[in-house]
Amino acid sequence: MKVSQITGYSVLSGNNIQKKKTNAAPSFKSSLSEVERTLARKNIKTNFNGSLFVAECSEKVVWLFQKLYGKSCLPKAINFVSLNNISIFSSLESECKNTNHAPILLIDQTFPPVSMYTDRELREFGYHFAIRNLPVHCYEDYAPILSQMDYILIDCQKIDAVKASFYFRKLYPDICICASNIPDTETFGKLSPAETISLFEGTFFRMPVTRGEHKVSPLKINYISLLNLIEEDDFDLTKAADIISQDTALIISLLRLANTRSFNSEITSVRVAVSMLGQKDLTRWIQTTVIEKLCSDKPNELMRLSLLRAKFAENLAPVFGMAMRSQELFLTGLFSILDIILDCSMEEALSMVRVSGKIRTALLEHTGSLAEVLHFIVKYESAEWQEVSRQLVLKNIEIPDVSHAWVSSLQWYAKLIAMNE
């Protein structure tokens, strides 16, 4: 039986991480007692039930969150409960009594629908329940369990999610239905109108739309013209101000940024704000803000993905021996999903923006040194650690250097979002 607690964390780590300086990422070479002592020094009570792997992963998550958000956001306790068809009858309520939020227990069809399990009263202790991977032929047999579920995950590649959602909504009106394993935006487009489905999960937001021709809206063309303008050598600040003045959202965002730099100066127009920033700061503001606006009709994850890839690529420039090409790497990461953002092919998307031939080659042909860094980033964000480790060995790169580049990217993005709120 597979029963596990759903968490909102991803472990950003690899094997053979070595400590470097005092603020390096924790390694996977500790003993259980060492991890417990490390977390105890942060005033975190722990109970890992003998699992060194979980302890080490927890230590890395704590390290990451402290780097990003400071000590105030760290948990007071971390408890690991290994659930199976025996431990489900143990004193779970006492093992998870220190959690700040109600744990969600995720089960599948290996959890049999018999009274000895269905009669196990855990809801009174604040637990919520979710079930996944339930075949259609098991629906009726699992009625006693389904009636106790808070969530059900329906694999849309194995089951007609819309029909299944109507079935569950009729019989279990309080259950929250999640369509999972959505492969592309076309499938998401078919599922999203269904009022019976509340949540969606999958890689669909990373897949470009392939249906027919898609015209880019005039507003997006205006944004693209800004991107093209700043690629000109010694571009005209007045032209940039005039284009920005055509969009209220851009004006508000620009003035908000300029006000943080103005001190005692009075900002009387968009042109004054543009002049105050100068070409360098204005270029970076346009690159990040325009991507945000281009993604306004897309899932938030797309904007996050594009901006994080851009900053991560820039931070990796010295790590990959390409310090002089950091701006090229930033744009390579920024435009790596431009086809998805504009709902067209990458070739068509790149025809709208002015980029160097090397960036174009990296994004269209996936060759060259820029493409190598982008390939590494994609594997890293997908947690394909075997390929990441292979690249690190080939490039003679230290894992702590990559970890710091990633954490720095997350911090930059967090500040960027906070500034725009």
Please list the alpha-helical segments (H only) found in 106-235: 115-118, 143-146, 161-171, 185-191, 218-229
What is the structure's pLDDT at 103?
67
Say if CB 371 and CB 356 are below 8 A apart: no
- Residue type at 179? A
| pLDDT tens-digit readout, 338-386 | 988 888 889 988 999 888 999 999 999 999 999 999 999 999 988 788 8
Of the candidates 315, 328, 308, the residue with the CA atom closest to the CA atom of residue 416? 308
How far apart (Å, rounded) are the C-alpha atoms in residues 103 and 81?
Answer: 11
For residue 360, what are its two tokens? 């174009």
- Cα angle, residue 389 at apex, residues 33 and 27 outer, rounded to 5°: 15
SS (H, E, C) 234-275: CCCHHHHHHHHCCCHHHHHHHHHHHHHHHCCCCCCCHHHHHH
Of the candidates 64, 89, 69, 114, the residue with the CA atom closest to the CA atom of residue 3? 89
Residue ranges of the chain with per-residue pLDDT less than 70: 1-30, 68, 81-103, 116-125, 205-216, 262-265, 420-421
Please give the radius of gyration of the chain, using alpha carbons only, rounded to the nearest integer. 25
What is the structure's pLDDT at 394?
93
Of the candidates 329, 343, 340, the residue with the CA atom closest to the CA atom of residue 301? 340
- Residue carrying the six token digits 């202790």: 125
Whether the model pTM is above 0.85: no
- Residue type at 16? N
What is the structure's pLDDT at 70?
74
Please list the alpha-helical segments (H only) found in 96-153: 115-118, 143-146
Q: What is the DSSP letter of 215?
A: P
What is the structure's pLDDT at 63?
81
What is the structure's pLDDT at 127?
74
| pLDDT tens-digit readout, 39-97 | 898 888 887 777 777 787 788 888 877 776 777 778 888 877 655 555 555 555 555 55
What is the structure's pLDDT at 14?
34
4-206: which CATH number, 3.40.1350, 3.90.1200, 3.20.20, 3.30.420? 3.20.20
- Residue carrying the six token digits 């710091």: 404
What is the structure's pLDDT at 108?
75
Domain regions of the chain by residue span? 4-206, 218-294, 300-420
What is the structure's pLDDT at 376?
96
Is residue 400 classed as helix, strand or coil in its secondary structure? helix
How far apart (Å, rounded) are the C-alpha atoms in residues 321 and 315?
Answer: 11
C-alpha atoms less than 13 angstroms from C-alpha of 165 in its C-beta half-sphere = 22
Say if CB 26 and CB 17 are below 8 A apart: yes
